[in-house]
Amino acid sequence: MYEDVRAPLLHLANYRVEAFAERLDRHVTEPGFGLVLGYDGEAPVGYAYGNTIDAGDRYWKRMAEPLPDGYTDTPVLAIKEIGVRTPWRGTGTARRIHDELLAHRTEDRVTLMVNPLAGDGKVQALYESWGYQPVNSQQPSPDSPRLTAMIRAR
């Protein structure tokens, strides 16, 4: 499913299937890992996954700007990936998968990262419509673009 979701980007090092598989192998071992798969009948259409991060997590340490004191004191759900196959985009599928992932969490806040150029800014605008606000930025790996970190109340 990842190949379908990211097909236009697979030529970029950070989006290669192998790079995703390496990240996923690491993410499933991290505290509070959760995954939701979306289906239309028998057809898999999308996914979202994330894990719990706390003050010591490298997620916070890579931020471009210092965070306010106490900002990372409580655990937060970090959504690591949201993906929906092309035929189901624009149908609300991503939001339903996202909301299902959040429905089973106990963290008070949720964060995610977005490439601000994705879809000519439409992806970030979509997350803003879901209540996320930009708070910082980071480049998670040398092969990754600079991403906007966003956060909202669960």
Task: Give residue 84's pLDDT.
Answer: 94
Task: Give residue 49's pLDDT.
Answer: 96
pLDDT (tens, 9 = 90+) of the chain, 154 residues, equals 888 888 777 787 777 888 888 989 999 999 999 999 999 999 999 999 999 999 989 899 999 999 989 999 999 999 999 999 999 999 999 999 999 999 989 999 999 999 887 778 889 999 999 999 999 999 888 878 899 999 999 8
* Domains of the chain, first to last: 2-153 (3.40.630.30)
Residue 68 — φ and ψ, nearest 5°? -60, 150
Q: pTM of the entire structure? A: 0.90
